[in-house]
Chain A
Amino acid sequence: MPAVVDAVRVRRCIRSSNRGVRSVMGPARAVFVLLVAIFAATIPPAGASSSRHRCLDACANDVHACIALAQTRARTLRSACTGSSSSARATCRHAARAGLRLSVGSCHTLRKDCRACCRAGGQGPACPVGRPVDFVPPPPQDLGGLGVPRRDDGTFFVLAIPNASLGIDPTRRDAIVAAGACARWITTCVTGGGHALDDCLRSAPPCTTARPWEEPAACCAPVCFERYQEARRGGSEALTAFETVVFGADPCMPGVADLLRTGQP
């Protein structure tokens, strides 16, 4: 029986090994995992069945958490749809519903992947990367409220020299800003929330449109996590996978590649 428990732990280990950004399993731990896996493969079928049960129970818990998180977020988004325009409110609610659908869809995918993982003995390419975590990022800094001086164009000083300056324009909205918002959500999830990068990538709110900079809150395109998970399953280190997916040659956020190439939204 101990081997069965360890088999479950194997999957847990894979999913949760990336606390912070330390994504590469340590050598000792890898050896341990390998030994456990080998041992698990030699145990009687009855033990495997019990292990699968435990694994599936864990999957169910994760999926429930995933759905609960999606519903909570949808409620939060809906409650924020308080604009004076009825059409705006409708658009907002629509976005909330779309987000819920996407989130629930990803929860179903999680369940599917998780069950496949359990069938595979708790490891293998089918195993999902990351667990759903609830995290609400802090709001962006209110530079005006902080007393940061403004430039003539209304943006906030960062640097100024006699003939040039660098400022922050908090009102700016484009594909790159949306990518920045996605990256901020994930980064603060790790640095402020204390979650693993895998978990934060999985849990980032999904963008519901091809113009995420027009969406009411920070989001990450669903394809971002899909590519990230694929890279992780392929053995990529977590931080490298994250940066490649979001900031690599083929950015996952919609509109970014075009903006970088043309300078036009």
Chain B
Amino acid sequence: VRPLVALLLLVGAATASAYDSRCYHGNGAACHAGPDSARQRWRGPSDEHRQLWEKTVALSGLTAPPGMTASLASSEFTLQVFTKDDIVPDGTGAQVPTLTPVRFADAERAPSRTMTPSEFAQLPDFGYSLFDWATGFETCPLDSALPASAPLDACHDFSTHMGAVNSNHFLPQAQAFYVLYHQLALDRAAACKKMKDRIVARGGQVATFDEFVRACEQEAFVLEAIGHHYLQDAWSTGHMWERWGSPDLIDFTDLQQSLLIAMTSGLIHGARGVLQDVLGFAGFDVNDPLCAPGPLVRFVPGPISTPVLGLGDLFLGQLLNQAGAAFPAQYFQLFSCAATSLRQVQRAMGDQPGALDPSLIEVADPTGSACFAQRATNAAMVDGIGLDFVTPGGVPVRVELDSLAATQLVATASAAVGGSPQNVNPILQANYAFDMARIVTHARLRGLAEPDATDLASGGLGPLLGIDRNGAFVQQPLAPYVDPPLPWPDSPTAANDATNRALALARTFHAGHAIDWCNRFRDGATDGSDVDLLRAHVHVVQAAGTGGDELAAACLACETFAERHLRVGTDAGNYDTSREPLCHFLADDAASTQYVFQPGDPGDATEALAARYCDCASISTTSTTTTLPAVTTTTLPAPTGTITFDLNLPAGSAPQFIGSGTFVVSITNNGGGHFGTSASWGGGTLFVQTPETTCGTNPTTYGLGEVTGTLFTEPTSVTGEFLIKVPLTTPAGACPLDSSGFLPLIFDGELLTPNLIRFFQVCVGTPNCYDTRFIDASVVSVEGVVQIGP
């Protein structure tokens, strides 16, 4: 490969990212690509991939686990990972703590990572794979094709590196990537079923080890969500054609080639995503096909079907509006495929899903042609080859890219990335212009002759600059950065750095991989999978007098795994056989897994016994802002700090959150976003979606909020102040506090603080909140009465 670093800095932003993906800081600011993105939540305005997942969950009839009101596919979870005390540059000039998991016996920090599966439906637009996220976007998976390591932010920036290889977001490569991740999800779901089956078969209670089963199932949904990104892309008209190129950078020959191919693909795909915010287009509305809907934007849904209207990225609202009334075929097939896929995963977990939404069907094979044979029509492709916008004066304009204009295309690159109009290879420029003239000429004539055929979208455009259509690059492995095959962790292999990647994944999702770790933990294990070694690490840190976060991390690592292997007693001949630990039930060979022993009373909680075993009993692992007794009532008028309740609970207690009264949040809009109802949103009752008070990893709805304030109609901006009142009544089956007793008050996933700027999600459409809108607002006060007690 010729030097690609400078080249790649130029490549790809023009290749749109399919349905939109967005990452925001708590204050509403967009994330910086790379490590910063891995540390933020991926939800907020225009998070189309996440919305598609949530919509799919709502339609698919997935059932909630016992004691929960929502499916795990929609539920928030928190991963406790174990890292070194290292920092990495995040690309903004700041240094951030590493998230790369290390050997549990080397833990120096224990950061938490909270997400929902739905957010992972956006992962392929922010990172290369799940292991990439698991390692905090702290490596560049493209480095093997680069002469020098790329900066972490640039490597994960769609406008520089990721766009160059996003041919896998287009058909038919998208199908191959979906199949990969759907199969990983099914395999992990089967592992979750095995977990439950083993517990039952060995005389245990699944409920006793529920957190591990749920962690496993949530990981399966995470993998499924990643696969859905590609499935969703396949149902964006901008992606229903075979763009040129490969997901492997090494298949390109040089910088300019990659740049021109990526930009050209973006032009046909639809340029709204890249032009709408360009300075020169201020005030323009770039409603550019193929993604922008229009009379010519149609696709053929399958081998034997007629063209239907479609749309793509940045126009999701029109698809969801009134249950796909304007785009019924696209809506029906997309969600039938996606819901079928999700239901397969739940069945693989051993659970029968509920009723599928009656508007959909279960397809026989969501990996097959029913879900991936769709192609844009020739007429639509011709419509895509051009640029459409509405001027600030309201005049619709179409710039035709005809055979002549194609030869007058000129690519430029900024000096900041080592380019200039003068240094674009003139041979490449000439060949590009010539190829483009051939392509548009062919497209126009085919579009006239057979407008409803799909040969143009099926590779009929011919190669561009010697690079074939993406269908020619469906190879194994699909790309050098895809996630490794299961199991995680696995024995060393050379493929894809699979060992390290699988290990990182298994460490990050260690609770879900309890079977794997139970099998690995042995006395004196050379890879550090030894509970005694974890305890020894605690002793070393204690002896060094280090304390603080490092000691807390060492203790947490030890306690986490000791609990899974701990028998209550003194030795193998003297322990409480009625309290066998997790690994007794899960290990392939219950006799050969590691066991540690800690004497205790029948009433002692295993967490406490594990802490005692690790000599960590006096260590608190949560920060304290407000310490309350076990039963308390408090009022919080405009508090000055993060509102949390950190309870030091007696061992073995099982307190319940029994809040009552009304929790009032006053918010003031900051002038952005929209809030209200209108016909275009589908009408319906306005309500606050799932104001979440969490306990542990299981969100529980403590009541729907009542919103008062001035409603208005889009696009009028919010100017008033709103009150969101959340009646804190304990619902039936509310989850108990987790073992740490850490009870943050969270509204829609965010810790409530004064002056917190965030996007409040407001829903329209009962009962499933199909249409969501966001308002950009600040919390100005928080007031309420909360009662917590056993």
> Are B426 and A263 within 8 A (Cβ)?
yes
Chain B residues with Cβ below 8 Å from A197 are: 445
Q: Output the least CB separation between B392 and chain A (Å).
A: 9
- Measured CB to CB, the nearest residue on chain A to B427 is A263
> Are B10 and A169 within 8 A (Cβ)?
no
**A-side interface mostly:** mixed
* A165-B411, A177-B407, A247-B437 given; A191·B399 CB < 8 A: no
Q: Output the least CB separation between A179 and chain B (Å).
A: 6
Produce 1/0 per residue, A191-222, CB < 8 A to B. 10000010000000000000000000010000
Chain A residues with Cβ below 8 Å from B11 are: 164
* A177-B404, A184-B404 given; A163·B416 CB < 8 A: yes
Within 8 A of A (CB), among B392-436: 393, 395, 397, 399-414, 416-417, 419, 421, 425-431, 433-434
Residue B586 lies at the interface, judged by CB distance under 8 Å to chain A: no
* A155-B410, A166-B409 given; A261·B427 CB < 8 A: yes
Chain B residues with Cβ below 8 Å from A251 are: 434
Binds B, one of A46-54, A119-127, A140-148: A140-148
**B-side interface mostly:** helix
Residue A149 lies at the interface, judged by CB distance under 8 Å to chain B: yes
Chain B residues with Cβ below 8 Å from A190 are: 445, 448
The interface size of chain B toward A, counting residues with CB under 8 Å, comes to 64
Residue A57 lies at the interface, judged by CB distance under 8 Å to chain B: no
> Are B278 and A160 within 8 A (Cβ)?
yes
How many A-B contacts if CB must be within 8 Å?
190
Residue A254 lies at the interface, judged by CB distance under 8 Å to chain B: no
Residue B263 lies at the interface, judged by CB distance under 8 Å to chain A: yes
Residue B275 lies at the interface, judged by CB distance under 8 Å to chain A: yes
* A148-B397, A168-B405 given; A191·B444 CB < 8 A: yes
> Are A161 and B263 within 8 A (Cβ)?
yes
> Are B446 and A187 within 8 A (Cβ)?
no
Residue A4 lies at the interface, judged by CB distance under 8 Å to chain B: no
A259 to B426, CA, bound (A): 9
Q: Output the least CB separation between B421 and chain A (Å).
A: 6
The interface size of chain A toward B, counting residues with CB under 8 Å, comes to 57
* A163-B159, A164-B263, A263-B429 given; A149·B281 CB < 8 A: yes
Query: Out of A20, A141, A147, A256, which one reaches B405, CB within 8 Å?
Result: A141
> Are A151 and B437 within 8 A (Cβ)?
no
Query: Out of B159, B400, B430, B442, which one reaches A243, CB within 8 Å?
Result: B442
Q: Output the least CB separation between A158 and chain B (Å).
A: 6
Chain A residues with Cβ below 8 Å from B433 are: 176-177, 180
Chain B residues with Cβ below 8 Å from A169 are: 408, 410
Produce 1/0 per residue, A83-99, CB < 8 A to B. 00000000000000000
Interface CB pairs A-B, < 8 A, 24: A21-B446, A21-B448, A147-B395, A151-B412, A159-B263, A161-B263, A162-B414, A163-B10, A163-B419, A164-B10, A164-B11, A166-B263, A166-B409, A177-B404, A180-B437, A183-B403, A183-B438, A197-B445, A246-B441, A247-B434, A247-B437, A260-B434, A261-B427, A263-B428
* Given A158-B271, A172-B407; 20 other pairs, CB 8 A cutoff: A20-B445, A153-B421, A158-B401, A159-B266, A161-B12, A161-B274, A163-B10, A163-B160, A164-B263, A164-B412, A164-B419, A166-B14, A166-B411, A176-B434, A184-B402, A187-B403, A190-B448, A243-B438, A247-B437, A263-B430
